[in-house]
Amino acid sequence: MPEEEAVIYRGRIRMPYTWAVGETGSFFLTQLRDHARIWGTRCPQCRRTMVPPRRNCPRCLAKTHWLQLEPRGSLVTYTVVHYRHRIHPPQEPLIYGVIKLEGADTGLTHLLGEVDPADLRPGLLLEAVFKEPEQRRGHILDILYFRPREVTGS
């Protein structure tokens, strides 16, 4: 039998797919869509509050409980993207941030808006901006972005 030559085909395959987000993810996304509310889960043993929510605590595996959070928090870290890609939303520059919501122990990665990149710094206070109710689809992007919030009082 003659020796076969290896044939290499270099290409890109785009494969659309759908997947179920499960009971926990479904509740989280439905609350964003129907009520513009952000929910996390809290571990009864570790006392950690997680957003996005987890059915079980990743540390001790205890079943978690639901907890509604305010749609505001502070910036942990961020990155500014200066190039276009088909999966990016249309605004430029594109800013991703990790936001620690008030009462949460984990960060939520999301888009930042209504802010000059030069004004970004860890600890910046932010609030969620939601799409209009008729535009929400049960997706994490039902939160359009997080923007700086004004602090009232002294």
Q: Where are the domains of the chain?
A: 22-148
Distances (CA, A) of 6 to 1, 9, 14: 15, 10, 24
Task: Please check the confidence at residue 104 and state whether its pLDDT lies above 90.
Answer: yes
Task: Please check the confidence at residue 141 and state whether its pLDDT lies above 70.
Answer: yes
- What mean pLDDT, rounded, does the chain reach? 91
pLDDT for res 154: 46
Q: Are 56 and 62 spatial neighbours (Cβ–Cβ below 8 Å)?
A: yes
